[in-house]
Structure 1
Amino acid sequence: MEQSLILRLPEDILVFHVVKYLELKDIKNLFLTCKQLNRSLNCPTVWHVIYMKTFAEAQDENYSFEMFYKWGPAMYKQRKHSVLKLFGSNSFGRLGCTRETYNNSKYEIVNGQRRYYGTFQMTSQSGYADISAGGFSFEILGIDGTLSFTGYDWHGRLGRIAPGLKGERIGTIQAARPRNPINTVQALYWKTLPRFTAVSSGRAHFLALDSDNNLWTWDDGHVLLYGEHLTLWDGIIDKEIKGKILKIRAGWNLNSCMVAGVGIVVWSYRTVNNSLTKAYVRILPRTNENYIFDYVLLESAVIMIDRHGILEKIDFSGLNLDEISSENVHLPPTVVLDQFMSYIKTNGSSRFIRLSGCYETFAVISEGDDVLIGKRGRMQFKLPLIMASLKQKSIITVAAGDYHFLALDNKGQVYSWGRESMANNCLGLGKLTTILSKGIGYMDGKDLVVPDPQPIQVSGRVLAIAAAGWHSALIVAPNAPDSDNS
């Protein structure tokens, strides 16, 4: 009998380029077709696509999360009953707890000062779908499509909110703080609250996408809860950009998304005219879904994995980012990060498959389980930092904060390393005295530095991670009563 045409496809074509165009029922049927397809499709990349498609297509309040995932891996069903664990500095209410609760949590005396090392837990009846870390808050996506943020505000009361309204220069922001450090967002001029399906955080702003392909932004320091509905606008040809939004990526002080058939668009400002909020975007050439598999937006660079698993960058440093959407700003060329590629090929791998990043740092994972870090200070991202201790640990994602990292393996174990500014507990490793006595970290002035990844002790299976400057978070499916919470 002649072999089916789909079985003749190389596995990477099937996993990376075919599945994302299929409907959910068709993906499920492929799993059930034969052992070869079941084996090829049973990988994190495909399950991520399934998760996003399922969540995005949930249209009514009676939607059962388990209805679809009862035939899939247990980790996706566990999100329905997950909890949030947050740790680090609670400045601006980042951890979602009041000052009184934080001050009554676990602490030790170091040099005559209190160092808080407690872990704070949040629960939700609907469960947690995803979490994103901004400079002053967490943005939390519920399985029911709600979107919340921690903190008394998400912008740190900065004088300049970017990428916000064009020309806006705010002094001391006078927007009133809510009483609670956990708030559910709302949508301006919308009759009903949208069902959000994705969220991404920058330093002092965040983006969200809803199930109807509407893009939303929170970037105005005067308006805390209400998001603005964005229209993507090509200012060079003065025309709206339409198409399905495939990915959203907020950068440190820029915004971006990938539009089907168009590519990655980046913007530094928006305007409001007759209730139409336009994001004036710049289209990055040769970046549509046929060329680019995934990307992250940093402070002033885009790091990308192309469809062949090759790592590339477009570096905006030196440009006027306030005018990046203008035709007068000439975009730099796309550059292959050769030393990253050379390393994995030398070690038996041929492509990169996962990417994350924040501020001036990114993390990338190869198909051979290599974890590499790129930093602007290391030859403008060109020289990789090799995380040898994470090799063959089956790391599925890395969360890069400003100066620290979390890594999650496929068994739900999380590792942390890097710099804790003012020893603020964003690494989640417990007492400072214990860390120092074990020799896994050292003090650099008032900062704690842990150079090598260390396991975080968590009761339960970690499903997702997030990190930013002074704070970290885990989505956890608990398997036993937890006793480490404040």
Structure 2
Amino acid sequence: MNILDLPVDILLLIFPRLDATSFLHLTSTCKSLHQSEFVHDAQFWSNIVRDTFRVPNQPQVQHDGKRWQKLYKRLLTQSRIYTWGSNDKACLGHSFEAPQTAHPHVPGLIVRRAPGHRRRHVSWPAEMEGTENLGVVADVQCGGWSTSMLTAKGAVYTVGVMDGEQFNQRRPPYMQAIKMQPTPLRYPPGFTQAAERHDNKTAIKQFSTGRSHVLGLSDSGRIWSWQDIDHAALHVKFLHHETKEEVSAGRGTVHKVVGGWNKSVALVEGCGIVLWDPLRRGHDDTAIEDTALVMETAVVPNTTYRQTRGKEDTAAPGTIDSTAEIIGEVQSIVALEEIVLFNTHLGKLFISSIIWTRDEQRLSEPFELDVTQGVENADVFVTDVQGSFRSFAVFLKDGTVLTSNQDRALDALHSTGSQDPLFKSVAALQHKDVISVAFGDYHFHALHAPGYITSYGNEPQACGALGLGGHGDPEGRLRGMRYQGIGGDGRLLPHAYSEGRRVWFEEEKRDWITFLTAGGVNPAEAAPRLRMALGSPGMDCQGEISEWIEQQGRDWEDKFDVRSEEDDGLGAYFALSVTAAGWHSGALVLVNEDLAAKVQAACEVRDPALVEEEEEEAQPGADELQADYEEESTSAASPSLLASATAIAYDWGRWFLGLPPYNSAAGSQQHLRDTLAARNKARRAAERIEQIHSPRNYGESPRKGYKYVWANDHFPRLRLTNGVEMPGEVEFDEWRFARPEFDVHAGV
């Protein structure tokens, strides 16, 4: 029997049993199998990516086979961790301050920190240190004072402090200490450490970070809990609920763990959504203890329903009469400060209030939230819910993304008749292929399917949590930030909520915007526009300039025409996931270093003037030295040419060490050195004066002998939406894409 005679359903059952190489060989055997529906089979590629690299499922793109196939190829070598925001307790994994280049207000000034000084704020995404030997990183999540990573081998590494409220105390109860380098979370003695080799009981397939603890679900289905990086994990067992290991379905199977803000959550088949207080080892606990029996738990009522796998639902419409089946099967869970939110396979969203006192621990009956409020499409189907602390986002099947917070949800639960709408609709998130939304205390990020991240919200004390640069400087203002108050709190302008503000990973983009903040090629001509954009009380000019810059940066690779047929279409920097908590953020990014190098090279051009100047400066010095050598060799009474050359070599070697020459006859050499030193000193002084009076030097050149292609560009001049024309002597700039319709009340 020919394999092509088999029904398609049979082929789809065969594919999951193949590895990637065998699958590609099979689909290459004939034209019939080399069709897109087979080669890019979404179920095969999503399963193999998640099984091989432990990448979490992304419901919004689970049917995009091409995307999963590209991720499989790039995850092998290109995963990188970037973090930004407040570096309190070293939660970003950036150990020391790197030397900075010139400051925009004082070009040429080098600002250095004392050795060992940790960066307090990081406004641009920076790669986490010490991750080179971790292998493929599959997931990254932020805690209140930490950042944790899951590797393809199932090991969890953490930086910072897991519980920042128990920090660095040298006496009992011995508070937690900072971890500046990624540190593997460990297990009690007798268990295989996941960082060393694979074991089903300790290899983590899914993990979740709460505010001050980490939960992990192992390959065997065991729940592990950490509350201190230095302490071994505790195996979680429940007094009132049965859990089973080494099974994929059936009563007691743990399907998911969720680290809530102040609670731990697990989805247990036959029990439903189980909630308990995070476990904590005391300072006098012995390391031998490996299991904790949780006495006090609560369950969200009517969350036990599970669909029959492999069979279609045969129940006729209207025949479902149990409350559990009306609610449906739980899909995603969010545990906020006071509520639990979850969506089900029926496309519904539910809320349950947490009642947790000394005398009572329970969760209220699930209440369905009305997602149709503010949605034009009457056929509303919820596909996912995500959130943290007091904020959450709801994803609809048609591409709509709604945001809300805990207070509004509680008002709806208690029917208080609040005037505030339950949901808000941010224009930049609607039908823009948003995969996930990550919330910090006052900011949030959206991850879009094409691999970019957008930022929204506020930055306390200009901590850099949005990743848009600046830290109170002009670069952040050109991205759409307003800084106010004593602490310099940053607030994103309403204009930024129309299309969003993307997080930049390209270093050359930072040089470009730095060049613009310095006034471009002609700072004097641009000064009135700079004052109008960055110094005026009104926000219209700043908002539109920031959108113009956003459009230029959005089309960066196409702008420099560096794409080729060999590129996979994912770009030089492809964000696979984004996370946020507190005042900091992080992302798992696939970096195509070859393409990134092409983009950077396309931004640079040789500077003939500088090359010629270097040659002119170098040549006279060489001629003078050669002439002096010849003069010395003819006048000195050296027995041979070799001896003369040796003496000269000794003299110059001692000169480099700051010692007097061996040969007293080399007085003319000393005169020559003094002359050249004075000349170099004068040249350096002239260069410093030129830099101080020429701010355009800041950001126009990547290195000596080269200039950026924008070195002759001016600061943008626009015709604003309100009809005002920005002042200047240069031509008006055009928009790269259509100018959006700005909502000045967005984001408020």
Range into which the TM-score falls when normalised by the shorter chain: 0.7 to 0.9
* Cα deviation code 1:9-33 (max 9, x no counterpart): xxxxxxxxxx9x999439999x989
Q: How does 1:16-415 map to 2 (within 5 A)?
A: 24-25=16-17, 42=42, 51-55=49-53, 72-80=68-76, 81-98=78-95, 101-102=96-97, 104=99, 116-122=122-128, 123-125=131-133, 126-151=135-160, 153-158=161-166, 173-175=173-175, 177=177, 180-193=180-193, 194-219=202-227, 221=228, 224-234=230-240, 240-242=242-244, 243-268=252-277, 270=279, 276-280=291-295, 281-288=297-304, 290=306, 291-316=329-354, 319-321=355-357, 328-338=360-370, 340-344=371-375, 346-347=376-377, 349-378=379-408, 380=410, 382=412, 383-415=422-454
For residues 157 and 387 of structure 1, do their structure 2 counterparts lie closer, same or farther at Cα, with a shift above 3 Å needed? same
Shift of 1:249: 0.6
Task: Measure, in 2, the Cα distance between the counterparts of 1:107 and 1:79.
Answer: 36
Greater CA drift, 423-432 or 329-338: 329-338
* Cα deviation code 1:368-397 (max 9, x no counterpart): 111111202335374001112221211111
For residues 348 and 412 of structure 1, do their structure 2 counterparts lie closer, same or farther at Cα, with a shift above 3 Å needed? farther
Structure 1 residue runs of 4 or more that deviate by more than 6 Å after TM superposition: 4-7, 26-29, 31-37, 106-110, 271-274
Task: Measure, in 1, the Cα distance between the counterparts of 2:349 and 2:46.
Answer: 21
For residues 422 and 315 of structure 1, do their structure 2 counterparts lie closer, same or farther at Cα, with a shift above 3 Å needed? same
Does the residue aligned with 2:461 lie in a helix, a strand or coil?
Answer: helix
Task: Identify the structure with the greater strand proportion.
Answer: 1
Report if the CA contact (8 A) 1:268-1:322 is conserved: no
**Which position in structure 2 is the counterpart of 1:164?**
none
Task: Measure, in 1, the Cα distance between the counterparts of 2:409 and 2:66.
Answer: 47
TM-score (norm. length: structure 2): 0.51
For residues 201 and 108 of structure 1, do their structure 2 counterparts lie closer, same or farther at Cα, with a shift above 3 Å needed? farther
TM-score (norm. length: structure 1): 0.76
Report if the CA contact (8 A) 2:53-2:136 is conserved: no
* Cα deviation code 1:202-233 (max 9, x no counterpart): 111111111121111112x5x72421111133
> Among 464, 476, 480, which residue is 1:440 paired with?
480
For residues 146 and 310 of structure 1, do their structure 2 counterparts lie closer, same or farther at Cα, with a shift above 3 Å needed? same
Report if the CA contact (8 A) 2:235-2:290 is conserved: no
Does the residue aligned with 2:17 lie in a helix, a strand or coil?
Answer: helix
Opposite residue 284 of structure 1, the aligned amino acid is V
For residues 218 and 348 of structure 1, do their structure 2 counterparts lie closer, same or farther at Cα, with a shift above 3 Å needed? same
Does the residue aligned with 2:337 lie in a helix, a strand or coil?
Answer: coil
What are the ranges of 5 or more consecutive residues in structure 1 without an aligned counterpart?
A: 8-18, 58-68, 160-169
Higher relative contact order, chain-length normalized (CA < 8 Å, sep 6+): 1
Report if the CA contact (8 A) 2:395-2:402 is conserved: yes
For residues 71 and 400 of structure 1, do their structure 2 counterparts lie closer, same or farther at Cα, with a shift above 3 Å needed? closer
**Which position in structure 1 is the counterpart of 2:613?**
none
Task: Measure, in 1, the Cα distance between the counterparts of 2:217 and 2:387.
Answer: 20
Task: Measure, in 2, the Cα distance between the counterparts of 1:254 and 1:202.
Answer: 8
* Percentage identity across paired residues of the two chains: 24
Task: Measure, in 2, the Cα distance between the counterparts of 1:428 and 1:106.
Answer: 19
For residues 478 and 5 of structure 1, do their structure 2 counterparts lie closer, same or farther at Cα, with a shift above 3 Å needed? closer
For residues 405 and 158 of structure 1, do their structure 2 counterparts lie closer, same or farther at Cα, with a shift above 3 Å needed? same
Task: Measure, in 2, the Cα distance between the counterparts of 1:106 and 1:262.
Answer: 58
Report if the CA contact (8 A) 2:89-2:178 is conserved: no
Task: Measure, in 2, the Cα distance between the counterparts of 1:106 and 1:265.
Answer: 52
> Among 491, 494, 499, which residue is 1:449 paired with?
491
Task: Measure, in 2, the Cα distance between the counterparts of 1:198 and 1:433.
Answer: 40
Shift of 1:315: 1.7
Task: Measure, in 1, the Cα distance between the counterparts of 2:382 and 2:177.
Answer: 43
Shift of 1:286: 2.0
> Among 574, 578, 583, which residue is 1:461 paired with?
574
For residues 322 and 120 of structure 1, do their structure 2 counterparts lie closer, same or farther at Cα, with a shift above 3 Å needed? farther
Opposite residue 81 of structure 2, the aligned amino acid is L
Does the residue aligned with 1:380 lie in a helix, a strand or coil?
Answer: helix
Task: Measure, in 1, the Cα distance between the counterparts of 2:262 and 2:101.
Answer: 35
For residues 278 and 458 of structure 1, do their structure 2 counterparts lie closer, same or farther at Cα, with a shift above 3 Å needed? same
Shift of 1:415: 0.2
* Cα deviation code 1:383-442 (max 9, x no counterpart): 001112221211111111122111111110110111111110010001133366437232
Task: Measure, in 2, the Cα distance between the counterparts of 1:91 and 1:283.
Answer: 35
* Cα deviation code 1:304-335 (max 9, x no counterpart): 1111111111122xx22566xxxx44532211
Task: Measure, in 1, the Cα distance between the counterparts of 2:446 and 2:79.
Answer: 19
**Which position in structure 2 is the counterpart of 1:165?**
none
Opposite residue 97 of structure 2, the aligned amino acid is Y
For residues 118 and 139 of structure 1, do their structure 2 counterparts lie closer, same or farther at Cα, with a shift above 3 Å needed? same
Task: Identify the structure with the greater helix proportion.
Answer: 2
Report if the CA contact (8 A) 2:82-2:588 is conserved: yes
Report if the CA contact (8 A) 1:188-1:229 is conserved: no
Shift of 1:39: 11
Task: Measure, in 2, the Cα distance between the counterparts of 1:23 and 1:265.
Answer: 36
Shift of 1:292: 1.1
Opposite residue 174 of structure 1, the aligned amino acid is Y
Task: Measure, in 2, the Cα distance between the counterparts of 1:114 and 1:196.
Answer: 32
* Cα deviation code 1:282-309 (max 9, x no counterpart): 2222223622121111112111111111
Task: Measure, in 1, the Cα distance between the counterparts of 2:225 and 2:592.
Answer: 36
For residues 51 and 381 of structure 1, do their structure 2 counterparts lie closer, same or farther at Cα, with a shift above 3 Å needed? farther
For residues 379 and 262 of structure 1, do their structure 2 counterparts lie closer, same or farther at Cα, with a shift above 3 Å needed? closer
Task: Measure, in 2, the Cα distance between the counterparts of 1:205 and 1:440.
Answer: 35
Task: Measure, in 1, the Cα distance between the counterparts of 2:171 and 2:387.
Answer: 30
Opposite residue 42 of structure 2, the aligned amino acid is N
What are the ranges of 5 or more consecutive residues in structure 2 without an aligned counterpart?
A: 1-6, 56-64, 106-118, 194-201, 245-251, 307-328, 413-421, 507-572, 601-698, 700-748
